[in-house]
Amino acid sequence: MTCLHLLLTLVFAVSLGTPVEIQRPRGVPLTKKQFYEEGKPFTCLDGSRTIPFDRVNDDYCDCKDGSDEPGTAACPNGSFHCTNAGYRPMFIPSSRINDGICDCCDTTDEYNSGAKCENTCKELGRKEREVLQKMAEITKEGFLLKQQLIEEAKKGREEKQGKVTDMQENKKQLEEKVEALRTVKEAAEQPEKEAKERHLKAWEEQKAAIRLEKDKAKMAEAFLELDDNSDGFVSVSELQSHAELDPDADGTLTETEVQGLMGGAAQVDTSTFESVWTNIKDKYHSESQPEEPAPVETPPDEVKEPAVDNDSEPYPEDDISEEDDEDEDDKDDYHEDDDKAPPTVKTPEKSHEDEEAMPPYDPDTQALIEAAQKARDDFEDSEKALRVMDDQIRNIEKELSFDFGPDAEFTYMYSQCYELSTSEYIYRLCPFNRVSQKPKYGGSETNLGIWGSWSGPENNKYLVMKYEHGTGCWQGPNRSTTVKLTCGKETVVTSTSEPSRCEYLMEFTTPAVCQEPANTEPSPHGHEEL
């Protein structure tokens, strides 16, 4: 941008200065006039030979570098200098001299072609001055904004550094608090643990006692059921009537197998039945309990099937009455079973659930549990607060570690995102983070690269940002984006393109790259080159 202002200064000087004619051969720039002194032999600029001066611009190429014919088309490698007074001077290939096309705005390249050229240098100079003036104003305003950004960044950095220092001090205090609460928690959890273990042990002992009493009751009930003749003894023949006790499950409970269950005794009384009960209680089916007819409910199913068949047949009145009688008998039998089944099936389930449910803790144990829980809550709250503080410190330190420019002028972009909407996509640039692309009318977002580094030229690396390692292209490289920064009053993405496959280019304006404008006041001693 400094070069633009220097050029603007030159244009002002040229447009307002007094024209001065400096004699030199046609097509020679003022900077090389000293090599073309009339009346003296001319030495080719490449030093290859020396020729008389009258052979300069004689429409014959004598020098290999074409320097003896700056104003003719004789040399294929020559160049012609357009003075373009009032605009910018320029060089054109000598082959364009007198080719009928006006290349120089001052028309000097068509001096002998007969082409009707119009001198447009003043108009071009005027338009360029307007553009340069506008750019100078933008640069000036942008630079002022940049100074504000630098001041804000400096102030913000000092505040963040101070905040980190304060948070580090608070972190030490919070760490001490966490350790103190950890000690309190561990101290409260120990008696809680012991009280819970005592409660559980007592409950296990209580359950064991309940199971033992229940087992004894079942054993006494079984003894009475097995003692068919009520003589106070259970004999081999009485036990043999329970085929479900067959040890080898061959379908037959032999006398020998029963004696094995009875420990070789021919009969046992209530005192010695306990050892027999240990052998048979897992397989023994109580006579007071049905052999699981209620859950299966086969009789109702068997009744329903004939009823469905009978619907398709005539109903003889005699048959119906007989069936009704039979159904009533069946219903009576069913109700008898129904009266027995619920108490024997459902009641144990409820009692089992009651047995498995541990009773509430006693007041002392409950108080210990509540105290330990409060200690845990206090510890977890303080530990969470410490984690939050660690995250805050880490995030601030990460921000402070970024290279935000020589004077931190790019700081304001951190944690900000800028979008550009095109006909197909919405492009999103989040400086120092990532670049993404999302279809405008639905679809998933594509990562075009994450922050890599500043990649500008050596004289100012802060003119280009590089974002790398984006989403991979199909059978291609990972996407990447180059962001070119130019001076502007606003921070905005102005354009996007894809010069190469999976390599994107963004144009981004920001006041952070605006340089201090040069003095654009025209010099009173300017002159115009002729």
Alpha carbon separation from 408 to 151, 288, 350, 399 (Å, rounded): 9, 92, 75, 11
E strand or H helix at 498: strand 492-500
With cut-offs at 50, 70 and 90, classify the pLDDT of residue 170: very high
| Cβ(418)–Cβ(491) below 8 Å | yes
- Comparing 427 with 238, the larger pLDDT belongs to 427
**Among 85-99, 347-361, 398-412, 460-474, which stretch is predicted with the lowest mean pLDDT?**
347-361
pLDDT digits (tens, 9 = 90+) for 184-205: 999 999 999 999 999 999 888 8
Express the helix, strand and coil content of the chain in percent, nearest 5 each.
Answer: 50, 15, 35
**Alpha carbon distance 526, 9 (integer Å):** 10
246 pLDDT more than 70: yes
Collect contacts of 206-215 with beta carbons under 8 A, ≥24 apart: 207/355, 210/355, 211/355, 215/281
2 pLDDT more than 50: no
CA neighbor of 97 nearest in space, from 124, 57, 63: 57
E strand or H helix at 146: helix 121-226
pLDDT score for 290:
58
pLDDT score for 92:
94
With cut-offs at 50, 70 and 90, classify the pLDDT of residue 354: low
Termini Cα distance of the chain: 28
**What percent of the chain clears pLDDT 90, i.e. is strictly above it?**
55
Q: Where does residue 478 fall: left (phi above 0), alpha (psi -120 to 50 degrees), or beta otherwise?
A: beta
Q: What is the SS3 assignment for 20-31? A: ECCCCCCCCCHH
- Amino acid 509 reads T
Tokens of 383: 């530990």
| Cβ(268)–Cβ(262) below 8 Å | yes
What does pLDDT average to over the chain? 82
464 pLDDT more than 50: yes
pLDDT score for 190:
94
Alpha carbon separation from 67 to 50, 62, 91 (Å, rounded): 11, 9, 13
